[in-house]
Structure 1
Amino acid sequence: MATLFHKMHGLGNDFVVLDAREAPVEVTAQQVRALCDRREGVGCDQLIRIGPSDKAAIRMDIWNPDGEPASACGNATRCVMALTGAGSVETVGGLLTGGGDYDDVRVELPAPKFQWDEIPIADPMDTAPAPLGWDALEAPDAVNVGNPHLVFFVDDVDDVPLAELGPTIETDPAFPDRINVNIAGVTENGLKLRTWERGAGLTQACGTGACATAVAAIRRRLVKSPVTVEMAGGALVVDWAPGEPIVMQGPATHVFSGEIDLETLA
């Protein structure tokens, strides 16, 4: 039986969106891995399923390419809102609100969390900065914006071997749920960012990573809100004040739609 899907991306952070609004769609970890595969599947950074919700206009479920579920994705939320016109989206990480057209989609995320057990980190510690380090990367800020992030501020973002350090930090025993890794620097126009996403690896852009990095930089008084966060795929604007939700804005792109028989991937 064919299932409708949409290929979309937010600043190069790409998704396969399974449309379960009219009929239920179930996926296994094996099917997730097959769909996300860039050689033998459709290919994407995350698999998204949209369907009905009794708490919001729509529900969004997220899986990483390794087949494991994820709790939040800012870029995927912007894509789903642009695709469906939904003003509210239910996710495992919480209720997200916003809206807009493809050129400029605004998403409001819940207020960030900073306590060690809210990240979570295995042992009690400060989180701004955290007394942690890997090679030359030291003293990151830990922030949960629906999913957990570490933010390292460095002089040269491009000089960090993130492809090597990312998987080591992601899977460190200090993080029971694994963690996303952000390498950031302050520029004349705002912030420059590279992200290693847990379960996905290096991506062209990361919406929650941009939010976590902006929050950490604002808390450190390195930048003022709103701030532009520049990534390989483009820029997002993040607005935040202490105690308030995070607001993220940027474009979303619909690439194509198609149908796929999920049973062939079982």
Structure 2
Amino acid sequence: MEHKIHFTKMHGAGNDYIYVDTLYYNIEEPEELARRWSDRHKGIGSDGLVLIGRSPIPEADFTMRIFNADGSEAMMCGNASRCVGKYVYEKGLTTSKEVRLLTPSGIKTIHLSVRDGLVDASTVDMGEPVFENPLQFLPQGTGLREGTFVSMGNPHYVVFTEDIDAVEQEGRGLEHHPAFPERCNIEFAEMRPDGIRVRVWERGSGITQACGTGACAVAVAAALTGRAERRSRILMDGGTLDVKWCLQDNHVYLTGPAEFVFEGEIELS
């Protein structure tokens, strides 16, 4: 028996996901669907699958689950969170300009900037960065680059270099390095006059146009190592994100655009 699933394709700075409202559709085996639908040649094409649901607790309004292109489940995604904020507001699921989103890494609050009934930008409170080993250096002799570890609800390893394109060759090795038993997101970053230029190897998806938690990790790492102040423009392949590491509450705030790409239906056999 076959039935159709309605989906929405959205992106935040080029970080694109397939969004499904689970209020209407019971999605079984999301790991397999993420792999199948994310295929850019034989599927819809995306960095992964995002499931939106109603929150089971009063402290949050909605839930978000994210499955990477390889089917693994992610703990958090800043760009996806901002897209969910736009989705629930413009689809009429809420009238509030403040959306509380329950994720596997906790509740994240999204502040929506609305103009003429449409969300033109959104800011998500990413919470406090975590430094299990803030100036982590991988073992000598590995041939892999030294960098800074930052957790933004998921693990990131930030390498400052003038050769950011090398992440295409080195990202997989760093993602699977023994120093990261749960694998790791990798960012290669270069300090520039107009901001920090970043390329991303996303855990479970490979090279992506952008990564919200990655942008936050880079901004925090740059401030932590004295390369920048507590606010940075992060220039990614798919667009620019603004990150502020607030001194008052130690929270990291991610701001940027969220866009609808297209909607459609796909048969689920």
TM-score over 0.5 (shorter chain): yes
Contact 2:81 2:110 survives alignment (8 Å): no
Query: Identity over aligned residues, as a percent?
Result: 38
2:126 paired with 1:109: yes
Question: Which residue identity lines up with residue 143 of structure 2 in the other structure?
Answer: D
Structure 2 CA distance, aligned partners of 1:94 and 1:170? 24
Structure 2 CA distance, aligned partners of 1:28 and 1:20? 11
Contact 2:14 2:209 survives alignment (8 Å): yes
2:50 paired with 1:48: yes
Structure 1 CA distance, aligned partners of 2:74 and 2:11? 17
Structure 2 CA distance, aligned partners of 1:200 and 1:76? 14
Give 1:239 deviation, angstroms.
0.4
Give the aligned partner of residue 121 of structure 1: none
- Count of residue pairs brought into register by the alignment: 250
2:92 paired with 1:84: no
Give the aligned partner of residue 135 of structure 2: 128
Report Cα offsets for 1:155-177 as digits up to 9, x if no partner.
3424xx21221111111122111
Question: Which residue identity lines up with residue 195 of structure 2 in the other structure?
Answer: G
2:46 paired with 1:39: no
Question: For 1:22, what is the secondary structure of its paired residue?
Answer: coil
Structure 1 CA distance, aligned partners of 2:168 and 2:44? 23
Structure 2 CA distance, aligned partners of 1:66 and 1:136? 24
Give 1:131 deviation, angstroms.
4.1
Is there any run of 5+ residues in structure 2 with no aligned partner, and where?
none
TM, length-normalised to structure 2: 0.88
Give 1:24 deviation, angstroms.
3.0
Give the aligned partner of residue 177 of structure 1: 182
Give the aligned partner of residue 236 of structure 1: 241
Report Cα offsets for 1:26-84 as digits up to 9, x if no partner.
23432221111111111100110101112311101000111111111111111110111
- Pick one of 29, 34, 38 that aligns with 1:27: 29
Question: Which residue identity lines up with residue 130 of structure 2 in the other structure?
Answer: K
Q: What value does the CA root-mean-square deviation take over the aligned residues?
A: 1.7
Structure 1 CA distance, aligned partners of 2:63 and 2:139? 36
Give 1:132 deviation, angstroms.
4.2
Structure 2 CA distance, aligned partners of 1:34 and 1:20? 18
Contact 1:186 1:192 survives alignment (8 Å): yes
Equivalences for residues 1-266 of structure 1 within 5 A: 1-55=3-57, 56-85=60-89, 87-100=99-112, 101=114, 102-115=119-132, 126-132=133-139, 135=143, 137-138=145-146, 140-158=147-165, 161-241=166-246, 244-263=250-269
Contact 2:138 2:179 survives alignment (8 Å): no
Question: Which residue identity lines up with residue 168 of structure 1 in the other structure?
Answer: G
Question: Which residue identity lines up with residue 110 of structure 1 in the other structure?
Answer: G
TM, length-normalised to structure 1: 0.89
Is there any run of 5+ residues in structure 1 with no aligned partner, and where?
116-125
Question: Which residue identity lines up with residue 193 of structure 1 in the other structure?
Answer: V
Contact 1:45 1:200 survives alignment (8 Å): yes
CA gap of 1:186–1:259, structure 2 versus 1, over 3 A, is same
CA gap of 1:253–1:28, structure 2 versus 1, over 3 A, is closer
CA gap of 1:54–1:136, structure 2 versus 1, over 3 A, is closer
